[in-house]
């Protein structure tokens, strides 16, 4: 009887969400969007400003020019309205092999990413991927899922605990542990795979060779060391990711060839 009530409650709430907040990603995937874009962009701007104030920024002009060159080519290849946004980039003088993009057009690149992205094409694959998270509204989708999941966990925990405070706490902790295996990961594997697909198109349209995405992720895997089991990771396994990237070449190589024919041939010079 208790499980029937729980299933009915979850179905009711989920139904209301689907009816009131249905959206579609650039690849046609269904999304639940509950958060205001303006709200997330304001929060992102605040967090980005705090990062710039608290983390060392790159001062080497050759490195700044190189990374900015790649990012500018990617941004110019975006569709409207994103190509018209005032994108802002910060390059952090830290060794982490990482990069990110935030709602509102904020791009962060850690110097350490150049250990894996060893030429302009590989760096374009990274930046294209991160920008794709923004254009596909993955942060909004993630934040919306987080808000809904938290409410659902609280309700489910009360029902499972039968109103007993100690039992409720135990049920809540168990459900939160389950979330760590996939419900509340920073970006889901579906989102990561989607960002790969979209980002690959961005880099190809900008004149960067999409085939270089394969050695990039091989380098990333080498830098990361032994990868965790795929179901515990926010990213697809390297083998699966590479298979998916190669599967997109029939679409992205013509975009790359068209860009080259049109004279879009980036020449971003890596620092010595």
A 10 A CB-CB count for 237 gives 16
Q: 3-class DSSP state for residue 164?
A: coil
Beta pairing partners, 110: 92
Max Cα–Cα distance, the chain, nearest Å: 69
Smallest Cα–Cα separation from 172: which of 152, 142, 145? 152
194 in active site: no
For 5-67, the DSSP string reads HHHHHHHHHHHHHHHHSEEE-TTS-EEE--S-HHHHHHHHHHHHHHHHHHSPBP--HHHHHHH
Beta pairing partners, 90: 108
CB 246 within 8 A of CB 239: no
The catalytic position among 130, 141, 192, 194 is 130
Rounded Cα–Cα distance for residues 191 and 135 (Å): 12
Angle between helices 138-161 and 165-178 (to 10 degrees): 150
CB 243 within 8 A of CB 230: no
User: Among all residues, which ones are annotated catalytic?
Assistant: 130
């Amino acid at each position: 009887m208790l499980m029937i009530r729980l299933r009915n409650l979850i179905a009711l709430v989920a139904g209301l969400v689907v009816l009131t907040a249905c959206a579609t990603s650039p690849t046609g995937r269904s999304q639940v969007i509950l958060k205001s874009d303006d709200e997330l962009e304001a929060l992102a701007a605040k967090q980005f400003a705090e990062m710039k104030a608290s983390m060392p920024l790159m001062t080497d002009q050759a490195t700044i020019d190189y990374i900015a060159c790649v990012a500018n080519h990617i941004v110019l290849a975006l569709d409207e309205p994103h190509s018209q946004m005032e994108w802002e980039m910060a390059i952090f003088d830290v060794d982490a092999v990482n990069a990110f993009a935030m709602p509102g057009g904020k791009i962060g690149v850690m110097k350490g990413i150049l250990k894996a992205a060893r030429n302009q094409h590989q760096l374009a694959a990274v930046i294209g991927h991160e920008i794709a998270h923004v254009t596909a509204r993955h942060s909004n989708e993630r934040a919306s899922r987080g808000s809904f999941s938290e409410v659902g966990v609280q309700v489910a925990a009360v029902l499972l605990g039968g109103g007993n405070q100690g039992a409720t706490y135990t049920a809540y902790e168990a459900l939160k542990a389950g979330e760590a295996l996939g419900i509340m990961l920073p970006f889901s594997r579906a989102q990561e795979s989607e960002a790969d697909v979209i980002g690959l198109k961005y880099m190809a349209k900008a004149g960067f060779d999409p085939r270089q995405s394969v050695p990039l992720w091989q380098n990333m895997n080498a830098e990361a060391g032994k990868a965790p089991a795929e179901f515990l990771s926010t990213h697809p396994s390297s083998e699966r990711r590479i298979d998916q990237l190669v599967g997109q070449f029939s679409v992205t190589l013509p975009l790359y060839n068209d860009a080259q024919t049109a004279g879009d041939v980036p020449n971003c010079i890596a620092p010595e």
